[in-house]
Structure 1
Amino acid sequence: MSLDSTPGGAAAESYFSIAEADTYFAARGNAAWAAATTTAKEQAARAGTQYLENTYRTRWVGLTAAQTQALAWPRVDGQRGGMGRSFGYGYTFPLYDINGWAIDSTTIPAQIKYAAMQAALLALGGVSLEPTLERGGQIHSISKGVGPLSKSIVYVDGAPARDTYTAIEGYLRGLVQSSGNVKLVRA
């Protein structure tokens, strides 16, 4: 099955095309991506995009550009409500990046594509991006016995439930809403 990376498409399943990823990883000298089959790359692209969708969908800035699009991007800064709502229509404005430049409402920003590509590379390497989690995951101590065999694991209180992928987080800075990030606003 061929990968659909149409921006705003109703059947889109990836934020990037394999050709875009090939160029991105070739420029970075990544041999693992280059060595993979097209099928493996497409599967990784789907997994990487799904990871972004599931992890950030409720935190993206703005609104989807169209109700029918399968993925969260492209987006607009939808100013709905107020006078527009009372007359049955809403106004939409472009989103702006952290440098003040408008983000086109018909394309997917490069940062989103790059973050999805980084997630795809992790998936291609066998990393489970959405694993089943046990407790917080961070172990405080492990005790093992020898007599009547026993094993005890003590987890750290408040330990993060998932690994953090700093390359992905870095690309998405300013495009997701959370503490520590700047919210995009209209200029």
Structure 2
Amino acid sequence: MPIEATPGGPSSDSYCTLVEADAYHSARGHNAEWAAASVEERERVLKWATRVLDTHYRYLGTRASAEQALAWPRRGVVFDGARVSSTAIPSQLRWAVAEFAFRLLQEDWTAGLGPVVDEGVQVGPLKTSKETHVAIPAEVAALVSPLVVPRLAGLGSFQVVRG
């Protein structure tokens, strides 16, 4: 099924259209795998990337409408000193979806716990091992980070809303 990317739409399933994702990857370069994928495959991973980001992050602001299918658009979000329109999807989020979709073509980050990063330390013959499972690629997390509620270590997270 084709992507439905209408901001605030009741049946929207992606923040990024196929045209937007193709333009992102054309500008990005090193994307032969994206260009070689079928339209159906690219649309599938764009939808999946959107769903994973929506379930993984708690975004700033509040949903713009009770009828919208996705978490965006939102009200009460300020980004780079400007208020984000409650009828728009920020470019950063569309780029994050396009980037994550490309990663999902290469490797399923959502199968299990994602790739493992060994953050162990070795001193002489002794080695400690601290494995961290990465659910979202660092480049994607960096794009989304200005749009999400920060998590405070040990305190959970909270959001201040002005009336």
Preserved CA contact (<8 Å) 1:96 1:184: no
Cα distance in 2 for residues equivalent to 1:138 and 1:166 = 12
Residue of structure 2 in register with 1:171 after alignment: 143
Partner SS state of residue 11, structure 1: coil
The alignment's TM-score, normalised by the length of structure 2, stands at 0.79
Cα distance in 2 for residues equivalent to 1:169 and 1:185 = 24
Residues 11-160 of structure 1 mapped to structure 2, 5 A cutoff: 11-29=11-29, 30-56=31-57, 59-77=58-76, 95-97=77-79, 99-125=80-106, 127-133=107-113, 156=129, 159-160=131-132
Code of the aligned partner of 1:172: V
Residue of structure 2 in register with 1:147 after alignment: none
Rate the CA distance shift 1:184–1:169 in 2: closer, same or farther, 3 A: farther
The alignment's TM-score, normalised by the length of structure 1, stands at 0.70
Cα distance in 1 for residues equivalent to 2:104 and 2:26 = 18
RMSD (Å) for aligned C-alpha atoms: 2.7
- Which has the greater radius of gyration? 1
Preserved CA contact (<8 Å) 1:8 1:74: yes
Identity of aligned residues (%): 33
Residue of structure 2 in register with 1:81 after alignment: none
Could you give the per-residue CA deviations for residues 146-175 of structure 1, whole angstroms, max 9, x where no partner exists?
xxxxxxxxx945x43334511111111221
| Count of aligned pairs | 148
Code of the aligned partner of 1:165: P
Unmatched segments (≥5 aa) in structure 2: 121-127, 153-158
